[in-house]
Amino acid sequence: MKVSNSELFKIVMNFLGWGDPENGLWFIGIEERMLFDEETILKYKGQKFVYVDKNKELNWPVAITTSKICAFLLDTDPANYRSQILWRKGSKVFNANLLPIGKSKIDNWPELYKKLFGFTYEGYIKNRKRIIEKRKENFKKFIKEMHPQAIICYGKCCWNDFENVFVLNGKQKKVYNNYGVVVYEKDRVILTRHFSYYRWMPDNVIQFVADILKQWEVKIPNKLL
């Protein structure tokens, strides 16, 4: 039976990300880089998240930078952490995205998506505010359910959106211009530049973020059970 455009879009709106979110350390990006097709979307039906397969190679920039932050927090080797623990069940590390649809670039719109979702890139952008508000509702419910220890949002172009969605208990912030980092202590939310480029997230910035997490006494395991 054919799945409607609206049903496919509802599935991606409700699906939030990958990893182990319960009482964990959350990382929130702008959007998934992987392109979606109908088969992939239907696998996410009824799910808010999935665990990453233990054998999956996590060798792209976001995975590498995320692993470095976790490894600094744990004082362990980032490559081993990434190959053995990151985003697997029991890792207590979760990656989600502000926007629901996977694209190789923010302004890219594959021809397939018009067929899948029934609207163009222009229509998607026109409804961006409404989409983010709905995602905010979904994330608020998920936060109440999963109780994250801290949330790191990466991608400076969307800091205002991240603040709107994840800073829920007060707007008082600390700005660390030398590191390109903004910290909301009350909500335990950290805003950083995007993880895709080393020059935006060099090791001194990664160490600085990890030190904040240590001050907050964020705990994640250094091995899977």
Domain boundaries, the chain: 5-215
Between CA 102 and CA 106 the distance in angstroms is 9
- CATH class of segment(s) 5-215: alpha beta
The pLDDT value recorded for residue 108 is: 85
Question: Could you give the dihedral angle defined by the CA atoms of residues 32, 215, 136 and 39, in that order, rounded to the nearest 10 degrees?
Answer: 30
Report strand pairing: 150-154 vs 189-192.
Answer: parallel
Please state, in angstroms and rounded to a whole number, the distance separating the CA atoms of residues 154 and 159: 8
pTM comes to: 0.96
What is the β-pairing status of strands 150-154 and 93-97? Answer: unpaired
Measured between alpha carbons, how far is 142 from 158 in angstroms, rounded to an integer? Answer: 20
pLDDT value of residue 186:
95
d(CA 71, CA 111): 40
Q: Render each residue's pLDDT in the chain as its tens digit; 225 residues.
A: 578 999 999 999 999 999 999 999 999 999 998 899 999 999 999 999 999 999 999 999 999 999 999 999 999 999 999 999 999 999 999 999 999 999 888 888 988 999 999 999 999 999 999 999 999 999 999 999 999 999 999 999 999 999 999 998 888 999 999 999 999 999 999 999 999 999 999 999 999 999 999 999 999 999 997
Is residue 96 within 8 Å of 32, Cβ to Cβ? Answer: no
What distances in angstroms separate CA 23 from CA 6, 20, 186, 189, one per listed residue? 32, 9, 17, 14
Which pLDDT value is given to residue 170? Answer: 80
Q: Give the model's pLDDT for residue 104.
A: 81
